[in-house]
Chain A
Amino acid sequence: MDIFIFEAAGHYFGIEARYIYRIADGVVIVPVPLMPGCYEGLIYYRGDLFDVVDMGRLMENEVSTLHDDPYIILLKWNAGKLGLIPDRVVGMKWVEDNGGTGTVFNERGDVVKLMTPDEIWSKLAGLAYGT
């Protein structure tokens, strides 16, 4: 299967390519009040609203290292739509299908943690306001 690999907070994360809707940039993120700290806001992209989260802060609770015009990885699946802001986009990689979870290694031997959009959503939903 093809996975999309990106880097956030010094770790590599991979999401199955079929969940990736688009890589966007130059879109306006509208802040939403009373949301967790990693929640950056909402974007409107081609008729859809996406919740945008900072992956570094969500996964590792690191201080955001977002730059002015970051890439936003737009996920679209059955349950919803989500935008992820990585520190760096690595690209597509084909790996053996193992159900979309677990860990794989990239070309340099770094550990890449495979995640699904539901896991990311669940993690986001479990956060309280201000965390």
Chain B
Amino acid sequence: MSRTSIRNKLILSFLLLLLLLMMVIAAINRLTDDYYTAQAISVALALAAGAVFGGYFSKSIVRRLNSLSAVAREVSHGDLSKDIPLLSQDEIRDLEEVFASMVKDLREMISDIKNVAGRMEDTNRALSSLSEKVLVSSEEIDESAMAIAKGSEQQTMIVQKTSLVINNSLDQMDAAGRQSARTVSKINNALVKTATGETKARETLRYLDKVLGQIAENTKPIYRLSNKVDKIRMVMHVMDEVAQKTELLSLNASIEATRAGEMGKGFALVANEIRSMAENSKQSSQEIGRIVDDIFQDNKAVIEVLRKSEEDVGKGRGIITGMVGTFREMVSGVKEISAEVKAVEQVTLKQVKEIRGLLRHFEALSRLAQANFVSTQKTTVGTKNQKEGVQKIVELMQSLNALSEKMMASQRRFRLRGD
């Protein structure tokens, strides 16, 4: 149906009404010869038709406007469920369509607001829960950061103490290294002295061999003297025997002379003289024997001394031979000790180097622990700020929640289709 404006309707209606009046007036004029009557009847009919037409037309417009006004009133009360009746094809229909479009937009907007408010409420609830969790997490992070800070502080202290201990150990190891170096130097000196001692002992050994040879050479005449003394003693023994036999002979001669009586007195004198000579000879022989014995004893003592000296020198030679061996072993042992001490020194130096590296690592660890401490302090501050921020967010969320509730309350004032 095409649109017709109210003005056109009015013109068309007026023209129709006018045509109808003219036809009625024409009819009346045919029926009545009275002009005035005809005129009055025509005017009355025109006025009545105008009033009926005007009333009907205005009532029609007012009724539609009232219907629109009633719907507008319902909308103003929040009831957006009503449809706007589109009854005409004139300017009021435009108003009705605009109003319907407005109600439709308002309905969609309210629906959107409702959705947004619901989403906002859900989001707000989720944000509140998340904020609480963030708060709890922040507190946990804060506690953890405090614990880490405390641990970092303790770690720093431990690392510093450990570094101090390692430093002391390094000093001691340095001292040990220096002592090892001094020991190596002393061992080298000892090695030189031991080698010198070995050389001296070898020289002493050669000198002792020479002395032993000289003693053996010097002993030979004494041994020869001893042999001669033995021979003298044998001779003396023979002389003793002769003297004894002479004495015995003189004694028996004296006995025989005694038996012979006066005749034997001269013989007895001779026998006595012989015995006296034998006695003298025996005494002299004994004296010589004593002297020879003395010589023999002296010679024996000298030989004993020489033998003792030879033995002592031999023992000394053995001792010095042992000393040479001992010096050789000492040289070998000192070389081994020197090698061992050098190895210990090398190991100590290596240990010092490695511990220095370890100390550097510890220092880095100390710096890291300090940095951790600072970072945890910063983290604590950050978590504190975060906590405050989250609390502000919570406050904003609460206000947003209030707004959302208010919006929901406002939205609840509207009634949509299906509510």
Binding site for B on A (CB under 8 A): 2, 4, 17-18, 20-25, 71, 89, 91-92
Partner of B259, one of A17, A24, A25: A17
Which chain B residue lies CB-closest to A24? B248
Which chain B residue lies CB-closest to A3? B258
How many residue-residue contacts, CB under 8 A, span A and B?
Answer: 30
Interface flags, B225-251, vs A, CB<8A=1, else 0: 000000000000000000010001001
CA distance A2 to B255 in the complex (A): 9
> Contact at A25–B248, with CB atoms within 8 Å?
yes
> Contact at B252–A25, with CB atoms within 8 Å?
no
CA distance A69 to B259 in the complex (A): 26
A4/B275 contact (C-beta < 8 A), A25-B244, A71-B248 known: no
In the complex, what residues of B have CB within 8 A of residue A2's CB? Answer: 258
A23/B259 contact (C-beta < 8 A), A91-B254, A91-B275, A92-B254 known: no
Chain B: minimal CB distance from A38 (Å): 23
> Contact at A91–B258, with CB atoms within 8 Å?
no
Which chain B residue lies CB-closest to A25? B248
> Contact at A22–B244, with CB atoms within 8 Å?
no
> Contact at A18–B259, with CB atoms within 8 Å?
yes
CA distance A91 to B248 in the complex (A): 10
In the complex, what residues of A have CB within 8 A of residue B272's CB? Answer: 92
> Contact at A17–B255, with CB atoms within 8 Å?
yes
Chain B: minimal CB distance from A31 (Å): 24
> Contact at A23–B258, with CB atoms within 8 Å?
no
> Contact at B258–A92, with CB atoms within 8 Å?
yes
CA distance A91 to B278 in the complex (A): 13
In the complex, what residues of A have CB within 8 A of residue B268's CB? Answer: 92
Chain A: minimal CB distance from B66 (Å): 189
Chain B: minimal CB distance from A82 (Å): 15
In the complex, what residues of B have CB within 8 A of residue A4's CB? Answer: 255
In the complex, what residues of A have CB within 8 A of residue B275's CB? Answer: 91
Between-chain CB contacts (< 8 Å), 17 pairs: A2-B258, A17-B255, A17-B258, A21-B255, A22-B255, A23-B248, A23-B251, A23-B252, A24-B248, A25-B244, A71-B248, A89-B251, A91-B254, A92-B254, A92-B258, A92-B268, A92-B272
